[in-house]
Structure 1
Amino acid sequence: MAPGARSARKAVQKISSTRAFARIAPHVIPVMDRTVHRLTRGRVMLSAQMLPGLVLTVRGAKSGQLRTVPLACMPQEGTRKGAPEGWILVGSNFGRTGHPAWTANLLGCPDAVVSWKGRDVPVRARLLQGAERAEVWEAALRFWPPYATYQARIEREIRLFRLERGD
């Protein structure tokens, strides 16, 4: 990573750790990402300029209706058909008290689709627990250190999911 990009990333990490960011970002970032994603036919997400991102489509746990949400993700090693072998999703909800709705939806219906760089990929989600969760949590903290700040200010345990390709 270039020095300028590294310092920009540090600045964004610092800002994203604030409570003000947690209040504002959930109302702004997903709207921008959905709009740009739609206009570019799935090829671009603004937030992915700082963190890798995908768009998750999953059935609502209560409604059964399809729900679409742009999310930061940690792509897993290896590729197949132009996309990673899988992804890790962190249900941080920007450090707000409740679990994000998409996590309940994945618990209720683990079969979903991700849009990754213009490609739709069927996936199956699995909630991580125990030693596997601990290992992935450490990797998530190295990937995006503000997750530690989010976890410190809430009582719930942040949910982690592994999305495994279904194709």
Structure 2
Amino acid sequence: MPKAPAPTSRYWKLQRQLTRLNTFLFRKTGGKVGGSYFGGAPVLLLHHVGRKSGEARISPLIYLDDAPRLVVVASKGGVDAHPAWFHNLTAMATTEVELPGGERRRVRPHVAEGAERARLWDRAVAIYKTYAAYATYTERTIPVVVLEPADATPTE
């Protein structure tokens, strides 16, 4: 399996700039614009805290509505490492997300396994086909993260 080249600091600088732009557009238009960076798939803003820095961060992420839950996929991190937001999120008991239209929800994350993961992965690939392509050249299983309402009982 060919390895993807390691991203450079220039790449990460561009990623941060695109994230800031996407966040600005998302908020300015109530979520109507900001999904174009992700090929038009529905996007939410995930609020999390850097594990090492302690800094507040926002990550625009594609999501599935699996009412009352939301689902995100930890796709692009590295060939053999999950993205930083995934590690930050799974280290938190609860956090907040912003949905299109300005709705905010407190959520509690859990990583889907087995049949639940398979069902949600198929749905994610149906709306964002590049997940399937990325899965063919990464050495890791791409996690599917379920965001339960923070006030609900977990359904694992």
When the two structures are superposed, what TM-score results if normalisation uses the length of structure 2? 0.75
- In the alignment, is residue 113 of structure 1 matched against residue 96 of structure 2? yes
1:88 paired residue number: 71
1:61 paired residue number: 51
Specify whether residues 43 and 149 from structure 1 end up closer, same or farther in structure 2 by C-alpha distance, changes over 3 A only: closer
Q: Percent identity?
A: 30
Quick one: which of 118, 136, 139 aligns to 1:155?
Answer: 139
Specify whether residues 45 and 112 from structure 1 end up closer, same or farther in structure 2 by C-alpha distance, changes over 3 A only: farther
**Runs of 5+ unmatched residues, structure 1:** 1-18, 78-84
1:31 paired residue number: 20
Aligned length: 139
Rounded to whole Å, the distance in 2 between the matches of 1:45 and 1:105 is: 26
Residue by residue over 1:62-108, the C-alpha shift from the partner in whole angstroms, topping out at 9 and shown as x without a partner, is 3333221111111124xxxxxxx221101111x74231111001111
- In the alignment, is residue 73 of structure 1 matched against residue 63 of structure 2? yes
User: SS state of the match for residue 70, structure 1?
Assistant: strand
2:154 paired residue number: none
Rounded to whole Å, the distance in 2 between the matches of 1:101 and 1:36 is: 23
2:84 paired residue number: 101
User: SS state of the match for residue 155, structure 1?
Assistant: coil
Indicate the structure with greater helix content.
1
User: SS state of the match for residue 99, structure 1?
Assistant: coil
**Runs of 5+ unmatched residues, structure 2:** 152-156
Question: How much has 1:162 moved relative to structure 2?
Answer: 0.4
